[in-house]
Amino acid sequence: MKILLVFDFDHTIIDDNSDTRIVQCAPEKKLPIELQDSYEKGFWTKFMGRVFKYLGGEGVTEDEMKRAVTSMPLTPGMVELLNFIRKNKDKFECIIISDSNSVFINWVLEATNFRDVFDKVFTNPAAFDSNGLLTVENYHTHSCNRCPKNLCKNVVLVEFVDKQLQQGVNYARIVYIGDGGNDVCPVMFLKKNDVAMPRKGYTLQKTLSRMSQNLEPTESSVVVWSSGVEIISHLLFLIKE
């Protein structure tokens, strides 16, 4: 049985936020105040749809956007980690669950040459329309009140694991690698054999730490990381177990 590795994208694989980085393409590298103020909590994808429409209206091209997105660095040690996974694909299955979008993630995976490492990517579908505007849609609808309207990563993970089980694929354990507030929900799905790997100093780690102090610890073990090299060390430990 393989180990299932679940990755977030922004601030986990890349050391930046792809949605906020794209603002660098705007005139004077900032959005008009009324556009900034139009964001409603839980409706980030709708907000980004308006941002992309504005950028298109300002004449920002697909190439300019691609340059901005692919110039973002990977997080420290991520190149080493993804190469390690590639060399050990017989032991790991690897998926991304992200609140970014399919265009940005594909650009980064192609530019860094790591597309083959990931078996599946679950994210908000995006595409350039006939006018050259980038459009983005919600990944799905769900009833979880902890997560943004367009994506509950817990629902995605549960559905994926169930679907795999129906096809006779069972995992030895799940390792969840993330950083953000929207990674808390899927970590709640993990069981005692699984591992939550929050990035040090980011929202997921702070939230799990607070939960533990409030005597509401996660069922899974928690291993904090700052570099992908530390994740390799823990994966080597899990393989040997």
Q: Which two tokens stand for residue 119?
A: 């078996």
99 is in an annotated binding site: yes
10 is in an annotated binding site: yes
Q: Rounded to whole angstroms, how far apart are CA atoms 146 and 187?
A: 13
List 10, 90, 119, 183, catalytic entry: 10
- How distant is the alpha carbon of residue 60 from its chain centre? 25
* 129 has catalytic annotation: no
Q: Rounded to whole angstroms, how far apart are CA atoms 132 and 152?
A: 29
Give yes or no for a contact between 10 and 18, defined as CB atoms under 8 angstroms apart: yes
User: DSSP state, 155?
Assistant: H
Q: Is 241 helix (H, G, I), strand (E, B) or coil?
A: coil
* 16 has catalytic annotation: no
- Could you count the other beta carbons within 10 Å of the beta carbon of residue 87? 10
Positions annotated as catalytic residues are 8, 10
Q: Show binding-site residues for substrate.
A: 19, 99
Q: Show binding-site residues.
A: 8, 10, 19, 99, 179
Q: Show binding-site residues for Mg(2+).
A: 8, 10, 179
